[in-house]
Amino acid sequence: MNAPATPLIPSMKDRVSPEEWQTRVDLAACYRLVADFGWSDLIFTHITARVPGTEDQFLINPYGMMFDEITASSLVKIDTHGNKLEDSPFPVNPAGFIIHSAIHAVRHDAQCVLHVHSVNGVAVSAQKGGVLPISQQSIFVLSSLAYHGYEGVALNEEEKPRLVADLGDKNYLMLRNHGLLTLGKTIADAFVNMYIFEAACMIQVRAQAGGELVQIPSQIISGAQEQVKTVTKSQGGMLAWPGLLRRLDRIDPSYRT
């Protein structure tokens, strides 16, 4: 049986501001990178970005499209309730926006919220001790990490205040028995944060298969954020982002369309 063809989606480039178009390109790239690094869960997670110049408009994936198919023009613009603000042949999964809408409503410093169900991330989220200070990657996560207990599939509006209270001002959130979430002032920041988060979890799962673990002293963790600024020349995720886009362009540049 042949799969149905992906609907033809006209370009949005001349229908939105240059700032929104750049956000669309970067968000489409982020979806493609999540697929490329093996963190996608078919179609069942989400990455959202605030439309520049607005407080109540966001871009999200067209529900049903695989992450490696997403383009700048196929992203759907929605309001704070997950309702579509423009025509699209694809639906939006309002349930998938529960977590994102809660965070965007209170964290105006975050342009992007990235949530995945990566295998290593879910594995560590099920461990009582959570992220352990056993790798260089883990110290960056632990310096800005919060936890939120599992309350079932994120369908309940009543969960929102508990989630944002647990998150506070942190940029890494471990959703117990569920997955990982990162925030970023830019899409690049959110992606690089997730790369570090998932790497810390992967290292932990592998290290636990061996002998006794050596833990990093807490005073090193407390200085990790200043170390990040030094390592990235105060550019955050933007230091690595151009190279990541070049990687995508070599694979398939259609995310830019």
pLDDT tens-digit map of 233-245 = 567 888 999 999 9
Record the tokens describing residue 170, joined without a space: 């942190």
Whole-number pLDDT of residue 97:
86
Whole-number pLDDT of residue 7:
73
- Provide the 3-class DSSP secondary structure of residue 233: coil
Q: Which residues, including other chains, have CB under 8 Å from residue 209's CB and lie 6 or more apart?
A: none
Q: What are phi and psi of 210, to 5 degrees?
A: -105, -140
Whole-number pLDDT of residue 172:
98
Question: Which residue type sits at 67?
Answer: F
Q: Are 116 and 42 in contact (CB under 8 A)?
A: no
145-148, strands of its sheet edge to edge: 76-78, 58-60, 47-50, 112-116, 179-184, 172-175, 145-148
Q: What does the DSSP assignment read for 58-80?
A: EEEPPTTS-GGG--TTT-EEE-T
Rounded to a whole number of angstroms, the CA Rg of the chain reads 18
Whole-number pLDDT of residue 1:
55
Q: Which long-range contacts (CB under 8 A, 24 or more apart) does 166-172 make?
A: 167/103, 167/107, 170/144, 170/145, 170/146, 171/110, 171/144, 172/141, 172/144, 172/145, 172/146, 172/197
Nearest partner of 131 among 148, 177, 181, 139, judged by Cα: 139
Residues of the chain predicted below pLDDT 50: none
Q: What is the pTM of this model?
A: 0.94
Q: What does the DSSP assignment read for 82-129?
A: S-BSS--SS---GGGHHHHHHHHHH-TT-SEEEEE--HHHHHHHTSTT
- Provide the 3-class DSSP secondary structure of residue 215: coil
Parallel, antiparallel, or unpaired for β 172-175 and 145-148? parallel
Whole-number pLDDT of residue 5:
66
